């Protein structure tokens, strides 16, 4: 057989090959479009459900600060003012929110205002003490039920029993809307408050700070340990069966379900070592254990990627092993390590199961100020709110998801920034 072939045959076959190229390109394009569509759908759903929680509903209320009701004199000290009877002022204001309210009506009317109104009246007065014996128009926070009705999240054309606001309250509601006393305002509570039983007062500040403390703990524990372990395993450890076993197990550890780490935290950290329950310290320690394998794998991969010629050059100059590693390998491996670390931290940020195990699911109504204070975390907060029956928490859930996504986005931005900052060509 001679090696005879016709170029026409090649050209014919070439058509088939380029058709395959085009087909593959189309598949890729379709896959990308589907992926993007799903992502946009997800983001759109979250945003459309959550954006309304950045608004709160306020009711304009005529509040009369007369000195008899408040039981203070015009020249009262600050301490006396703080102790003044603001709840009575509130009671009167609500009783006169609309003209001619019966006793029963007043009871119903009271339920249309947030429990926080006393405090709002008090704060307003303490800031402007010279309003004593005058009547002021104050915008006070409405109850979540009113808020949801105004936002259109609650249905009004259903049976009275199934509604949060009964028929009489709806009449009040319509009257407020008609007279323009019901207004929407930026919901500062969502950003400054911790969790609350009252949806109109619940905020993410507590869980945000809790997550921040937790992540700081994770970083401080996992980053140095991870880098140390990677450098040792990659550069110094003898290559034998034992180190091979360690290597395999690090890879295995990365695949262990996170709840197992939570059980470890519960069994060892809380019960044996007596760490304080529900705190960022425990949560961070548990998540650090979970993040370690990710960091070690990333760091070792980037150490491996450093060209051996650099290390050889340093060693041939008479650098000691440690000098060669720390002067040349580590700086070059740093961008990759940082990226891996931030991926690990992002994972830790979104982790819920282990935190539930160590008690970070507790209802914590205040913002933590330290690592050993009970606190919530963003993903657990989402879990808590999504479980709540009140309709007002639904939009909070979506908004909290938005916050966690923004947090993640910021972390990734930092990763990109650090990578471009430290990246060097060789």
Partner 1 sequence: MNNVKVSTKNVNVHYGTKQALHRVTLDINEKEVTALIGPSGCGKSTFLRCINRMNDLIDICKVDGSITVDNEEIISDEVDVVSLRSKIGMVFQKPNPFPKSIFDNVAYGPTIHGIVETKTDLEEIVHSSLKRAGLLKEVKDRLHEPGTSLSGGQQQRLCIARAIAVNPDIILMDEPCSALDPIATATIEELIDELKNKYTIVIVTHSMQQAARVSQRTGFFHLGELVETGETQKIFTNPENEKTQGYITGRFG
Nearer residue to partner 1 within complex by CB, 128 or 320: 320
Nearer residue to partner 1 within complex by CB, 46 or 319: 319
In the complex, minimum distance from the CB of residue 235 to partner 1, in angstroms, rounded to a whole number: 11
Task: Take residue 89 and report the two structure tokens written for it.
Answer: 């002022």
Q: Which of 300, 328, 391, 396 binds partner 1 (CB under 8 A)?
A: 328
Q: Is 419 in the site for partner 1 (CB under 8 A)?
A: no
Closest by CA to 194, choosing from 350, 363, 51, is 363
Choose the binding region for partner 1 from 121-129, 137-145, 169-177, 320-328 (rule: CB under 8 A).
320-328
Residue list 329-388, contact with partner 1 (CB under 8 A): 331-332
Q: Which of 320, 365, 366, 416 binds partner 1 (CB under 8 A)?
A: 320
3-state helix/strand/coil string of the chain? CCCCCCHHHHHHHHHHHHHHHHHHHHHHHHHHHHHHHHHHHHHHHHHHHHHHHHEEEEEEEEEECCHHHHCCCCCCCHHHHHCCCHHHHHHHHHHCCCCCCCHHHHHHHHCCECCCHHHHHHHHHHHCHHHCCCEEEEEEEECHHHHHHHHCCCCCCCCHHHCCCCHHHHHHHHHHHHCCCEEEEECCHHHHCCCCCCCCCCCCHHHHHHHHHHHHHHHHHHHHHHHHHHHHHHHHCCCCHHHHHHHHHHHHHCCCCHHHHHHHHHHHHHCCCCCCCCCHHHHHHHHHHHHHHHHHHHHHHHHHHCCHHHHHHHHHCCCCHHHHHHHHHHHHHHHHHHHHHHHHHHHHHHCCHHHHHCCCCCCCCCCCCCCCCCCCCHHHHHHHHHHCCCCHHHHHHHHHHHHHHHHHHHHHHHHHHHHHHHCCCC
In the complex, minimum distance from the CB of residue 317 to partner 1, in angstroms, rounded to a whole number: 5
Nearer residue to partner 1 within complex by CB, 243 or 369: 243
The binding track of 229-248 with respect to partner 1, each residue x by CB under 8 A or -, is: ----------x---------
Residue list 281-310, contact with partner 1 (CB under 8 A): 307, 309-310
Q: How many residues bind partner 1 (CB under 8 A)?
A: 21
Q: Which of 26, 134, 323, 369 binds partner 1 (CB under 8 A)?
A: 323
Cα→Cα distances 8→13, 15, 20, Å: 9, 11, 19
Q: State how far the Cα of 297 lies from the Cα of 247, in Å rounded to an integer.
A: 9
Q: Which of 1, 272, 317, 389 binds partner 1 (CB under 8 A)?
A: 317
Q: Which of 218, 227, 229, 314 binds partner 1 (CB under 8 A)?
A: 314
Nearer residue to partner 1 within complex by CB, 28 or 313: 313
Q: Is 313 in the site for partner 1 (CB under 8 A)?
A: yes
Q: Which of 180, 274, 318, 389 binds partner 1 (CB under 8 A)?
A: 318
In the complex, minimum distance from the CB of residue 419 to partner 1, in angstroms, rounded to a whole number: 15
Nearer residue to partner 1 within complex by CB, 180 or 318: 318
In the complex, minimum distance from the CB of residue 391 to partner 1, in angstroms, rounded to a whole number: 59
In the complex, minimum distance from the CB of residue 335 to partner 1, in angstroms, rounded to a whole number: 12
Nearer residue to partner 1 within complex by CB, 83 or 423: 423
Residue list 34-73, contact with partner 1 (CB under 8 A): none
How far is it between the farthest Cα atoms of the chain? 118
Choose the binding region for partner 1 from 14-22, 45-53, 70-78, 311-319 (rule: CB under 8 A).
311-319
Q: Which of 62, 80, 160, 312 binds partner 1 (CB under 8 A)?
A: 312
In the complex, minimum distance from the CB of residue 334 to partner 1, in angstroms, rounded to a whole number: 12
C-beta of residue 231 within 8 angstroms of C-beta of residue 303: yes
Nearer residue to partner 1 within complex by CB, 322 or 413: 322
In the complex, minimum distance from the CB of residue 339 to partner 1, in angstroms, rounded to a whole number: 18
For 140, left (φ over 0), alpha (ψ -120 to 50), or beta?
A: beta
In the complex, minimum distance from the CB of residue 194 to partner 1, in angstroms, rounded to a whole number: 48
Q: Site residues (CB under 8 A) for partner 1?
A: 239, 307, 309-310, 312-320, 323, 327-328, 331-332, 424-426
């Amino acid at each position: 057989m001679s090696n005879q072939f016709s170029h026409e045959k090649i050209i014919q076959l070439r058509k088939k090959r380029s058709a395959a190229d085009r087909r593959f390109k189309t598949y890729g394009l379709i896959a990308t479009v589907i992926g993007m569509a799903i992502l946009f759908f997800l983001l759109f759903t979250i945003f459309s459900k959550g954006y309304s929680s950045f608004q709160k509903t306020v009711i304009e209320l005529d509040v009369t600060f007369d000195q008899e009701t408040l039981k203070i004199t015009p020249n009262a000290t600050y301490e006396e003012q703080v102790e003044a009877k603001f709840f009575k002022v509130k009671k009167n204001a609500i009783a006169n929110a609309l003209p001619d309210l019966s006793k029963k009506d007043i009871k119903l009317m009271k339920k249309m205002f947030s429990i926080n109104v006393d405090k709002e009246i008090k704060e307003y007065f303490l800031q402007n003490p010279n309003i004593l014996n005058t009547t002021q128009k104050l915008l006070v926070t409405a109850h979540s039920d009113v808020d949801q009705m105004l936002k259109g999240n609650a249905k009004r054309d259903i049976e009275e029993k199934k509604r949060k606001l009964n028929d009489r309250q709806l009449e009040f509601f319509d009257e407020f809307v008609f007279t323009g006393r019901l207004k929407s305002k930026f919901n500062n509570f969502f950003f400054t408050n911790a969790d609350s039983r009252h949806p109109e007062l619940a905020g993410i500040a507590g869980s945000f700070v809790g997550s921040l403390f937790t992540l700081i703990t994770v970083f401080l524990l996992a980053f140095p340990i991870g880098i140390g372990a990677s450098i040792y395993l990659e550069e110094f450890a003898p290559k034998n069966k034992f180190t091979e076993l360690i290597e395999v197990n690090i890879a295995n550890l990365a695949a262990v379900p996170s709840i197992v780490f939570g059980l470890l935290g519960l069994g060892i950290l809380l019960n044996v070592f007596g760490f304080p329950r529900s705190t960022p310290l425990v949560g961070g320690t548990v998540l650090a254990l979970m993040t370690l394998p990710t960091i070690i794998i990333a760091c070792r991969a980037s150490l491996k990627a450093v060209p051996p010629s650099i290390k050889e050059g340093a060693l041939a100059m008479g650098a000691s092993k440690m000098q060669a590693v720390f002067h040349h390998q580590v700086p070059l491996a740093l961008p990759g390590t940082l990226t891996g670390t931030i991926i690990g931290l992002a994972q830790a940020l979104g982790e819920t199961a282990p935190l539930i195990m160590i008690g970070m699911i507790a209802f914590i109504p205040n913002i933590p100020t330290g690592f050993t204070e009970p606190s919530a975390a963003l993903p657990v907060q989402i879990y808590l709110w999504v479980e709540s029956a009140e309709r007002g928490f639904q939009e909070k859930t979506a908004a909290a998801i938005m916050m966690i996504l923004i947090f993640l986005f910021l972390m990734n931005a930092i990763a990109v920034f650090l990578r471009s900052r430290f990246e060097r060509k060789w």
